[in-house]
Structure 1
Amino acid sequence: MLQPRIKQVIARLGYNNTILHNNEIMSANKLAEDATTRGPFALGDFAIDEYRPIRVAVIGAGISGIVAGVRFPQKVPNVQLTIYEKDDGVGGTWYRNRYPGLACDIPAHCYQLTFEEKDWSALYAPGTEIREYLQGIVDKYELMRFIKLRHEVVGAQYAEDTGKWHLRVRRTDAETGATSEFENVVDVLIPAIGVLSRWDWPDIEGLHDFKGELHHTAGFDPQEKSWQEVAEDWKDKKVAVIGVGSSAIQLVPAIQPKVQRLYNYVRGKTWLAVPFASDTFATLLGRAPEDAEDYHFSAEEIERFKTDEAFYRRFRAVMENDMNSMHAATLRGSDLQKEATELFKANMRRKLAKKPWIADCLMPTFPVACRRLTPGPGYLEALVEDNVEFITSPIKRITERGIETIDGQHTELDMIFCATGYDTSFQLPFEIVGRDGMRLNDRWQPHPTTYLTMCVDGFPNMFMVLGPNSGIGSGSMLIMIEYEVMYAVQAVLKMQRERLKSIEVQREALLDFDDYLESYFPKTVYSEKCRSWYKMGAEDGRVVGLWPGSALAAAKAIMHPRWEDFKYELIDPSKNRFFWFGDGQTYNEKTMSGDRAWYLGEEYVDVPPVPDKQSRLMGL
């Protein structure tokens, strides 16, 4: 039987049927006891939108950090944002890389932020122009108020009791070079360092015994000059370029006319793509066939971009559409994959006709796009020039005077460029320590696992930008950056709005995404046998560099967070999930200030289209 007090509580909870079975009586008793025990609670003394201050730290002021610098102050009220950058300037890999020929390897109009357009000088914009573009965004949005240059994060540890990240930061004095360390405590950590940020010297015997000039493409610094000014002294030099990746493919044609003799040492094979969207580019500009391969915009074309906004928008949209039409080429056996293979073969043989044996040595047996594709305008043309030697015999060692290959040949050199890539192991250069002392580098052995490339269970309040599996096989990486930053923004807004101490992805959700990766990649060319940074520099194994699908699918997948995939802790003593409602009013009502009809603003009013009755009757 139900006790009178329990009957009263049941009535308050909406039960009015007094004839209950035994199991229903037990449930009713439990419900009544819960209601009696829980009772009312003290409301918060704040308005529902009186948001607490929230501290966010971003590691890195590359493109990801710059986008974060724009979006967090725009979208998150009462945010205290700090962006730590170890270098002397902004731009990330575009700031550090200054090698000859550095350029964007997709059309520049597809390598710009959705909200910030530019009139580029060439289809494949030079690195200097990209640096200027990024610096321009920093200046326009006054981001230096958030960015701390020469500040390197050397450690990050999560404190479970407070739900905060404790960062150790090493600061370098610009004038004296002296370093000091300090701690900063934040609510949210955004690692945005990217994968192509730490370059590696090749493992070649005697490398640093060389007495001439030795450069890594990522470490080449012409100081206050342009590389073209520096190259004026190279006309009598014998120069070697080691590698055939994207950096070497840009470097070789840039310096070939500047040096006496150029030796390209090539260990592997690679496909040279027909320049991306080049046909579309020429058609949109109305180029004559003989001008189709001149990838610089004329003064008239640039002026038209500046003065004809509709033309610029159409040009950009059509180029983006073209770039986002290549996904099928990444699928094994697809028609587009076959077409691309035949097109690239024909193009490579045509441009290497003067030295046809190079095509036989350079063209792979693995499918197109198995490793990163680059169009490399001018590379094939440079290889057939009289002052260039293409050397496929493996390097045995580097001597004080040059390079010796395993066939016994020794070439004396004045300068060596190592275009040998980056550390793509996803082992971070500093410790990130989560719950229970778990180190992220340990967690990412033998390979990294994430939830949607951004989150890891055991590491609450951390959202990575361009983490493992966030690369794009076709399309523009900048779309991924923008959407990942906005994902982090939405998470921070949820933490702030609902007064959360922590937000942490569930282990099961991470494992489900990991299973999706394992199921997706076997149907793609990325799983074929080829050495690629997509697979941490290995020929075989797990793909850790790429999103499992197209750029458009990635954007759709992360546009709307699945909050049910996370677990939460509340920050307030009250554990009622609606404590964040506060005192039942908004801040503008509480202070009788601001807009109290905000719901009539453009961003809130969604006017639906009125059906056209005539069109409906006609079946249109």
Structure 2
Amino acid sequence: MLRLLLQATRVETPHAKSKSSNKWAVEPRSIDESRPLRVVVIGSGISGIISSIRFRQRIPNLDLCVYEKNADIGGTWFENRYPGCACDIPAHAYQATFEPNKEWSKFYASAPEIHRYWKRVADKYNCMEYVKLKKRVIEAVWDEQRSKWQLKVQDVETGAVYSDLCDILISATGALNNWKWPNIPGLQDFKGKLMHSACWDESYDYSGKKVAVIGNGSSGIQIVPAILPKVSHIDHYIRGRTWIAPTFAREEIDKRGNDIENFSFTPEEIETFNKDHQAYQKFRKGIELELQSLHGATILGTPQQINAKGVFLENMKRRLSRKPGLFSGLVPSFPPACRRLTPGPGYLEALADDKVKVISNNIIEVAADGIITADGTRHPTDVIVCATGFDTTFTPRFPVIGRGGSLADRWNKTPETYLSMMVDGFPNYFISLGPNASLGEGNLLLLVEKAIDYFTLCVQKMQRDNIRALSVKKEAVDRFTLHCDQYFSQTVFGQKCRSWYKEGGEDSRVTALWPGSSLHSLKALTHPRWEEFTYEYVNDNANGWLGNGWTENEKQQTVNVNYLDDEQVDFPTQLLKPVLVS
């Protein structure tokens, strides 16, 4: 009897005439039907790779495309190939939570090794099927009528431009991606070899050369010790003083009986990690615990923050012991962590080497054969390395046009967002590692993963509630901006120092950092505050989520009652009275 009834069931139910004058609100869809959505991700660095995994894992009926301007995936770990390029936090804390790597060869992994790791992750989860290499998005315009993003995409090799359309657009281009030459008169007239840390010529042999390294940010700190063994001399130009952080896991260094800041793991240790998961977890969680216990040092006036200066001073003195005279010229007046911290393995030791000269006079001009400083001294050199960083303004590198105009105009004075991820007036648009997304301490990759989880929650809601356009409210953006400014006023990040955290200024707003610890970000991004958004519905029907009374299983005649399975029943066992044994 049941079989005959099922066979006779008509799934397609025509609209009946409503007895009321109200607009018909019963949509011809099941309540749990997942409408098809096209998602485009711009960039296949870490954010793009994780997005391509999590979206396919969690969003049914998905049409996914990842556009990548480069010839390979990996983002910064594909692009940056300068000598010494490495992660400045321990490798075991710089990996996907769902894909731990037990075979890192060094404590601070090199760029090529990190790139190989993310290539393996992408291959394991079949990401490359959805990535289009050598394709650059050059324009994104919100189409209000269709509630879609209209894209222009350029083939990097041929220059040809074609159009694309998507429901959801995700910017995963990263913050430090658009490198630039420093504004120094005569730089392009230099007759020797001119290189930028973000555009390194790997074919060039700098052996025996006299090299000028401009900049003591993260890349400059890594380049100096890396090239030192091969070159004849280094002039290291330092515009501002900076703190060099003590390395993590000091116990591991001391256990090895030497003072190598970036030690290698022995084959025996790697074998132990592979065979003994508990040993691996103990090591990994120990590193993570140390990394996640530093937040107090960023808040002005805390015991951690007050004591941090002494710890840093002792570390720098110890590592400059060969040339103690350098110490006073390197220690800054601002507190530790105001600028980006790096342990810089081997950097201070390299500065104490006889082949290195630290120059703090301002560069006023580059001549054909070298550099001229403000004191009138001419410094001949064969090679100039500009380790001078990136455009840190967060200005989009192509037009992104929303409801009220371009994102570049919206951020003309200062970049403002909601939780670093969304901007009012730009529906269905999400940003990974946007303004106020980076961390001054803690585990950045956890924040990246959590942000992408947040994106998927928003898209799930769009499918579940039949939403065609989801946009954050302006007042929510304003509140987050105010919160950031007030929060950073009580931190070391708000002190006077020149930092990319503040778009390169000394007294500018802190626009790069999350207003809290990385553990704080995990809590903040776990549950979206849906009241902070506005919604437009398919067919302008806010009732559309209810569908036509059917579920998908009923419609497909695959009804099940597995909600009665023990593993699906929520047994309130914790509320049971204890059994008294007589």
% identical equivalent positions? 46
Q: Does 1:180 align with 2:164?
A: no
Assess if the C-alpha contact under 8 Å between 1:280 and 1:322 holds in 2. Answer: no
Assess if the C-alpha contact under 8 Å between 2:26 and 2:543 holds in 1. Answer: no
Q: Secondary structure at the match of 2:432?
A: coil
Q: Give 1:445 deviation, angstroms.
A: 1.8
Query: Using a 3 Å threshold, how does the CA distance of structure 1 residues 608 and 474 change in structure 2: closer, same or farther?
Result: farther
Equivalent of residue 123 in structure 2, options 119, 136, 139: 139
Corresponding residue of 1:161: 145
Q: Secondary structure at the match of 2:163?
A: strand
Q: How many positions carry a matched residue from both structures?
A: 563
Q: Secondary structure at the match of 1:390?
A: strand
Q: Give 1:144 deviation, angstroms.
A: 1.1
Q: Give 1:163 deviation, angstroms.
A: 0.8
Assess if the C-alpha contact under 8 Å between 1:152 and 1:171 holds in 2. Answer: yes
Alignment of 1:543-558 (within 5 A): 543-558=510-525
Query: For residue 180 of structure 2, what is the amino acid of its counterpart?
Result: D
Assess if the C-alpha contact under 8 Å between 1:499 and 1:572 holds in 2. Answer: no
Corresponding residue of 2:263: 295
Corresponding residue of 1:20: none
Q: Give 1:202 deviation, angstroms.
A: 0.7
Corresponding residue of 2:547: 582
Q: In 2, distance between residues paired with 1:529 and 1:62?
A: 32
Equivalent of residue 527 in structure 1, options 477, 482, 494: 494
Assess if the C-alpha contact under 8 Å between 2:399 and 2:407 holds in 1. Answer: yes
Query: Using a 3 Å threshold, how does the CA distance of structure 1 residues 42 and 361 change in structure 2: closer, same or farther?
Result: closer
Assess if the C-alpha contact under 8 Å between 1:204 and 1:396 holds in 2. Answer: yes
TM-score, structure 1 length as denominator?
Answer: 0.87
Q: In 1, distance between residues paired with 2:58 and 2:298?
A: 36
Alignment of 1:490-501 (within 5 A): 490-501=457-468
Corresponding residue of 2:526: 559
Q: In 2, distance between residues paired with 1:616 and 1:376?
A: 62
Query: Using a 3 Å threshold, how does the CA distance of structure 1 residues 105 and 40 change in structure 2: closer, same or farther?
Result: same
Quick check: which one's helix share is greater?
Answer: 1
Q: Give 1:611 deviation, angstroms.
A: 7.3
Q: In 1, distance between residues paired with 2:569 and 2:321?
A: 63
TM superposition outliers: structure 1 runs of 4+ over 3 Å = 35-42, 280-283, 288-294, 593-596, 598-602, 604-617
Corresponding residue of 1:278: 249
Corresponding residue of 1:478: 445
Assess if the C-alpha contact under 8 Å between 1:341 and 1:368 holds in 2. Answer: yes
Query: For residue 52 of structure 1, what is the amino acid of its counterpart?
Result: R
Q: Secondary structure at the match of 1:349?
A: helix
Alignment of 1:357-436 (within 5 A): 357-436=325-404
Q: Give 1:613 deviation, angstroms.
A: 7.9
Q: In 1, distance between residues paired with 2:23 and 2:146?
A: 26
Corresponding residue of 2:319: 351
Q: Does 1:51 align with 2:18?
A: no
Query: For residue 214 of structure 1, what is the amino acid of its counterpart?
Result: L
Over aligned residue pairs, what C-alpha RMSD do you find? 2.2
Q: In 2, distance between residues paired with 1:455 and 1:370?
A: 26
Q: Give 1:258 deviation, angstroms.
A: 1.1
* Deviation by residue 1:50-105 (Cα, 9 ceiling, x = unmatched): 21110111111110000000000100000101111111111111111000000110
Corresponding residue of 1:9: none
Query: For residue 113 of structure 2, what is the amino acid of its counterpart?
Result: E
Corresponding residue of 1:241: 213
* Deviation by residue 1:258-310 (Cα, 9 ceiling, x = unmatched): 111111111110000001x2225458xxx254367452111211111111111
Q: Give 1:331 deviation, angstroms.
A: 0.8
Q: Which has the larger radius of gyration?
A: 1
Q: Give 1:184 deviation, angstroms.
A: 0.6
Q: In 2, distance between residues paired with 1:595 and 1:481?
A: 37
Assess if the C-alpha contact under 8 Å between 1:86 and 1:150 holds in 2. Answer: yes
Q: Secondary structure at the match of 2:279?
A: helix
Q: In 2, distance between residues paired with 1:171 and 1:158?
A: 22
Query: Using a 3 Å threshold, how does the CA distance of structure 1 residues 407 and 51 change in structure 2: closer, same or farther?
Result: same
Q: In 2, distance between residues paired with 1:599 and 1:426?
A: 51
Q: Give 1:354 deviation, angstroms.
A: 2.3
Q: Give 1:426 deviation, angstroms.
A: 1.1
Q: Give 1:196 deviation, angstroms.
A: 0.4
TM-score, structure 2 length as denominator?
Answer: 0.93
Q: Give 1:578 deviation, angstroms.
A: 3.0
Q: In 2, distance between residues paired with 1:601 and 1:148?
A: 45
Q: Secondary structure at the match of 1:215?
A: strand
Assess if the C-alpha contact under 8 Å between 2:193 and 2:384 holds in 1. Answer: yes
Assess if the C-alpha contact under 8 Å between 1:588 and 1:596 holds in 2. Answer: no
Q: Secondary structure at the match of 1:218?
A: coil
Q: Does 1:203 align with 2:183?
A: yes
Q: Which runs of 5+ in 2 are unaligned?
A: 1-17
Query: For residue 543 of structure 2, what is the amino acid of its counterpart?
Result: F
Assess if the C-alpha contact under 8 Å between 2:371 and 2:378 holds in 1. Answer: yes
Q: Give 1:470 deviation, angstroms.
A: 0.4
Assess if the C-alpha contact under 8 Å between 1:100 and 1:255 holds in 2. Answer: yes
Q: Which runs of 5+ in 1 are unaligned?
A: 1-34, 224-229
Assess if the C-alpha contact under 8 Å between 2:195 and 2:201 holds in 1. Answer: no
Corresponding residue of 2:74: 91
Alignment of 1:1-40 (within 5 A): 39=22
Assess if the C-alpha contact under 8 Å between 2:563 and 2:569 holds in 1. Answer: no
Q: In 1, distance between residues paired with 2:484 and 2:323?
A: 42
Assess if the C-alpha contact under 8 Å between 1:242 and 1:265 holds in 2. Answer: yes
Q: In 2, distance between residues paired with 1:416 and 1:183?
A: 41
Q: In 2, distance between residues paired with 1:335 and 1:36?
A: 72
Q: Secondary structure at the match of 1:257?
A: coil
Assess if the C-alpha contact under 8 Å between 2:25 and 2:543 holds in 1. Answer: no
Q: In 1, distance between residues paired with 2:423 and 2:579?
A: 51
Q: Does 1:121 align with 2:105?
A: yes
Corresponding residue of 1:227: none
Q: Does 1:109 align with 2:74?
A: no
